[in-house]
Chains A and B, each alone.
Chain A
Amino acid sequence: MLLTVTSTAPEAADLGFLLHKHPGRVQSFDLPVGTAHVFYPEATAERCTVALMLEVDPVALVRGRAGSAGRSGFSLAQYVNDRPYAASSMLAAALGKVFRTAISGTCTARPELPAQELPLVVEIPALPSRGGPDLVERLFRPLGWDVDVRGVPLDPTVPAWGDSRYVELRLTGTLRLADALSHLYVLLPVLDGDKHYWVGPDEIDKLLRAGEGWLAAHPERELIAHRYLANQRDLAAAAVERLAASDVLTALDGAGTFNGVGAFDGAAAGGGAVAGAPITQEIPEVAAAPPTPSLARLRADAVLAELRDAGARTVVDLGCGEGALLARLLEDRTIERVLGVDVSHRALEAASARLHLDTMPEHQRSRIELAQSSLTYTDARVAGFDAAVLMEVVEHVDLPRLAALERAVLAVARPRVLVVTTPNSEHNVRYPHLEHGHLRHHDHRFEWTRAEFEEWATGAATRNGYQVRFAPVGAVDAEVGPPTQMAVLTRTAPEDGMSA
């Protein structure tokens, strides 16, 4: 929570005028996040340094006064917290308050000063950088700074742990002070990637105001907008639109894709049993061929085609996640009843929002239900359906628990048809970003080769009176097969296979 700005301009002490803070005094400001102190450790004609030090109250931070209501992320909710040390959004907020006039570029006493470019050095000892030293470079260098950034070890007594997420930053450049401060004001929270307050629409105005004159031309403007607006995608998209409208920019794609986030496979959302896992960690499976539909789309198409062929009128989506497939099922008027179940309550809330269940017309609403359930427990609510779907779900269940899933679904719920899709692990070698031996999603408990999947599905079918056939999903690679594999199990034995 320390930041110093040093001017080595011929009249270095003019810094005091620009900042509206007298170099001979120590001033303190009570802010919602703590107390900010401004003082000049050095103020000579040749060299003038201003220090902004923010004392964050760690207890108040947890107990609510300055805490961020409604958020319970680990890093912000704990007493053990880097906020009292790191140059975070709190320091940026303090900067914005304490040096507001200087940022706006006004100086009534010496109106000519703000326009002057000064030789400046900015030093920040503990700057959190989500993106490492490299991102710091990418953000500041285009703005005319000479960037000296050094990693801070996580713990010098444990060298194996490597560097921390903090860097020691020294920026050198000849810039207007107002610009320098606005760069810091915007980019500290961007690097930190965590806002201490709730981000509302007025943040867009703040961002556009503070970034006036430099943000629109910044090569990383989309990342800046996205991160500054604390990952609120809608807000970020609105900000980019407004940036585009400012006529400075060439046309943006407008798809709301920031930092590649939009290109991620939607399967993460449909990842069923695991919804709640961070979507952004899904490996982008489709980055290679933009004109073809995404694998998620192909997968849903394949499942829907099977359901149509089976003449299913009632369908239960087991592990529906955030409801990607549910939306498609509702589009098909031949399907009379859809039930989406997931073990994650949060996923179901997301699905409900995504499908707009609360405002759906009654006749439509009556076709769909969502319920929390678990595939390792039996559940009468998932029984009695023409078809059940396990789309990219089984690989999220620990192998030893698959027997319980098999019994709950095939022996007890007994849909007429069960469609199962799962990654084909042989295909993983075709993903250049996927390290050898790694799984496609951090929550995958396993990924099966075609032979392994066939062995399981055939066994499960035989044990429970079903027939099974297999089909590829996605382009079939001659050597390693399709990216996704699908099994369709059809009940052969009469209603109940369990004989006494």
Chain B
Amino acid sequence: MTEISVPDLSLIVLVGASGSGKSTFAATHFGAFETVSSDFCRGLVSNDENSQEATADAFDLLAYIVGKRLDAGLLTVVDATNVQPHARKSLAELARAHDVLPVAVVLDVGEDVCLTRNAARADRSLPAHVVRRQREQLRRSLRGLGREGFRDVHVLHSAEEVEATTIVRHPLRSDRRTELGPFDVIGDVHGCRSELESLLVTLGYTLVHDDAGRPVDAVPPEGRRAVFLGDLVDRGPDSPGVLRLVMGIVAAGHALAVPGNHENKLVRALDGRKVQVSHGLAETLAQLAEEPEEFRRDVRAFCDGLVAHLVLDEGRLVVAHAGLKEAYHGRASGRVRSFALYGETTGETDEFGLPVRYPWAEDYRGRATVLYGHTPTPVAHWVNNTMCLDTGVVFGGHLSALRYPEREVVQVPAERVWYEPVKPFPVAGSEAGVAVAESGGNRTPDLLDVTDVLGKRVVETRTHGRVGIAAENAAGALEVMSRFALDPRWLLYLPPTMSPCATSSRDGLLEHPAEAFAQLRADGVDQAVCEEKHMGSRAVVLVCRDQETASSRFSIPEGMTGVVHTRTGRSFLDDARTEELLRWLRSAADAAGTWKTAGVDGGESGWLLFDCELMPWSLKAEPLLREQYASVGAAARSALPAAVRTLETAERAGLPVGDLLARTRSRATNAEGFADAYRRYAWAVDGLDGVRLAPFQLLAAEGSTFHDRDHLWHLGVVDELVAADTSGLLQATRRLVVDLDDEGSVAAGTAWWEELTGAGGEGMVVKPVANLVRGRRGLVQPGIKVRGREYLRIIYGPDYTEPEHLARLRERGLGRKRSLALREYALGIEALERFRDDEPLWRVHEAVFAVLALESEPVDPRL
């Protein structure tokens, strides 16, 4: 019995004459969709599985299908005769183009078998000479198959052997997904054995020495393993010592390792091949020359046996010496190995003659964390979920490790400069290093790409599943975001829209608290908090404790310590007023001690993000107030009294205009009510004089989000700020807790709303006290607004209370609005959590941008 082992991601090319049993073989060993047959493709493009004229089109199609499957990482089998070298060559190239290993399986069965089977087929009769020719071509090809680029060639010599063959699949050598860690991932060592020992000890490893006192193993803390990112050797003082230690750790199963370009070159040098002895290789070879031959052999075997990249922790972590772009993760080809060892260069050299590296990490959008070394950098930092851990120990920098999944960097400093770099290396902590660190190291400002936001998208949220964004909504949001919004680095959150309560059927009312209470109760909420609805604009305020935090955490420029922005990400105030507002808020937070407790586990945070209302509404909306609301009031004030007078004259003249007159008088009253309503939203401000800020929720602080803290906690934090505020800027939010199972409590809630709105208030927002709540049908609405009767005149028009209008206005659908409110709510939380988790900017921006995109969905703006 023959067993063929194939990589579980490979392109398997069957080779055999017509009638050799390829289709049966494929059907026996592979899944229904895994095999792509040339005959089937002929059929698709010509309606005839045997059409020879369709050959070219059929193979175009076959290549397309195979390409799509390989892109998706699916093992694929090509069922075609493939007896001609050029046919096989193009398939091997196709496999390489998708960084997948090509495997040939040859079905070399006897001519008689082929002819018999062909003759037995009802659908096709191939002349014997064709089958014979195919067999000849096959035989001629056999020897050269390996040279055609196939990684493995399996030849089955008879129909019996074909029959008896089994296929097993093995993972690629890079596939170590079952290794779950936790890991300590160690950057370029470059022969700095002493620093490596220190680092391992710092990481909690126990060194094991041989009889000669040389370290040969390190026992990790319980459950952990080390991962070496390559470039163990060259330049430094003791490459053999490092090798001895690392080989020992790996052999003991205490570590994994990937090779660096220096190991690669060392292997070739040890093989006696001609290599350029530079970049410290000479030192290594000299040091190794003093070691026994056996050690050199072990070194060669160790280095040669390393796999260029490893995929770990169920695909969540990828390690490679020079990093690896997402398309290459878990793939195998020459270029994948080359990328992993050397990275991509642009083909240019810089002023020091060093190759210019392609900044793949800036473009990286993968979900897996990628850890790598290769390019010495003074400070290890995250770029799009990737981190370079080569901190130039051999140049006098540091030797660094990252604790995974903790994402904590652990470093030891170099004991000295072991090797003078070609171009000056700015060591972290030195004067040059400080300058580099302040400018963000060699980090480029986080770059966002249009493909991060444009087109039809799906955003995964942890609270509400997948949220789809239509391409046209993204297009609209791109314009708003680009033209008006603040720098995405300062835009952590956009607030969600909020649904009103179900429509009330009470006389003269469109909205009433009873519906809000009933809705929450139906969702299983037993306690609600009613919060007064401020008569302002939604504002998000990011305030930093000091300039240093603002610039280091958010790259906010000198002179700014935060932002105050609208629902669409636009700055609310000019820079001077923004800073003044932030100054007052900061003083309040200083006095209240908010910074000291808002961070992780009640620790410190250098910044706070608040959801607020900013008043008066006219601050943002004065043009709208004047041009829309006041204008309508002016027109009504001019037209209606004149109409009433004219009708009164007519009535005195005995004309039957009574109804019309009554209606017109009522409308005149409505218009006055309307004017009263909008006037409450406008008052004059001078600088910040007259401006009020009412924070009602603390959205986030360093390392924390707070959507799971109950609203009374949030209001408590704000109350302390308000109490500590000496400027008069901050305003508390009145609230009333309602026990939804208690009729008296519910009645009190209703009475409170009546009191608020009776005094001209906008209304209230009813929220589950517990904040984020999941009900039987998923997320519960985080807030339901119940707006006052008079306020709604500026939404539905002065005359909306007239019975004939109200009857029609009650026919309003809330389904879309509610669904939108939940989706936006989930996206807002998602953005905050991504930021909290230090995810790359594009991931945070994706969720923030999606809120804006959803806002362009066509939903009745009056809801």
Contacts and interface: CB of A to CB of B under 8 A. Distances in A.
Interface of A: 1-2, 4, 24-26, 37, 39-43, 51, 53, 55, 58-59, 63, 74-75, 78-82, 84-87, 123, 125-126, 128, 152-158, 160-161, 164-166, 168, 273-274, 276, 343-345, 372-381, 396, 400-401, 403-404, 407-408, 411-412, 443, 494-496, 498-500
Contacts of B629: 80
A164 B356 CA distance: 64
A345 B634 contact: no
B307 to A, nearest CB: 25
A79 B802 CA distance: 13
Nearest to A153: B634
Nearest to B682: A158
Nearest to B675: A155
Contacts of A158: 630, 679, 682
B442 A374 contact: no
Contacts of B688: none
Contact of B634 (A74, A152, A344, A412): A152
Given A41-B646, A377-B453, A86 B479 contact: no
B34 to A, nearest CB: 33
A160 B626 CA distance: 11
Classify the secondary structure of A's interface with B.
mixed
Interface in B445-466: 445, 447-454
B479 A345 contact: yes
B67 interface: no
A254 to B, nearest CB: 36
B653 A41 contact: yes
B450 A2 contact: no
Contacts of B635: 82, 85-86, 126, 128, 152, 164, 166
Given A80-B794, A158-B630, A158-B682, A498 B557 contact: no
29 contacts: A26-B660, A40-B655, A41-B646, A53-B647, A79-B796, A79-B862, A80-B629, A80-B674, A85-B632, A125-B639, A125-B642, A126-B636, A154-B630, A155-B679, A158-B682, A164-B630, A164-B635, A165-B631, A166-B631, A343-B479, A343-B482, A379-B450, A379-B451, A380-B449, A380-B451, A381-B450, A412-B447, A496-B348, A500-B359
Contact of B357 (A41, A161, A500): A500
B448 A378 contact: yes
Contact of A161 (B630, B642, B794, B808): B630
B483 A273 contact: yes
B632 A500 contact: no
B625 to A, nearest CB: 9
A406 B483 CA distance: 16
Nearest to A341: B450
A37 B660 contact: yes
A155 B799 contact: no
B287 interface: no
Given A2-B643, A39-B657, A372 B454 contact: yes
A160 to B, nearest CB: 8
B632 A80 contact: yes
Interface in B461-501: 472, 475-476, 478-479, 481-483, 486-487
B653 A84 contact: no
A362 to B, nearest CB: 23
B800 A79 contact: yes
Contact of A81 (B354, B359, B453, B632): B632
Given A273-B483, A377-B450, A372 B475 contact: yes
Given A374-B450, A374-B482, A80 B628 contact: yes
A345 B455 CA distance: 13
Contacts of B679: 155, 157-158
Interface string B335-361: 000000000001110110010111100
B447 A407 contact: yes
Contacts of B416: none
Given A42-B653, A343-B478, A374-B450, A152 B444 contact: no
Contacts of B682: 158
Nearest to A347: B479
Interface string B608-652: 000000000000000000101111111111111111001101100
Nearest to A348: B475
Contact of A155 (B356, B442, B475, B634): B634
Contacts of B657: 26, 37, 39
A455 B738 CA distance: 62
Contacts of B638: 85, 125-126, 152, 166, 168
A154 B346 contact: no
A401 B487 contact: yes
Contacts of B476: 345
B352 to A, nearest CB: 9
Interface string B815-859: 000000000000000000000000000000000000000000000
B448 A377 contact: yes
B356 A498 contact: yes
A268 to B, nearest CB: 15
A412 to B, nearest CB: 7
A407 B444 contact: yes
B656 interface: yes
B348 A494 contact: yes
B442 A166 contact: no
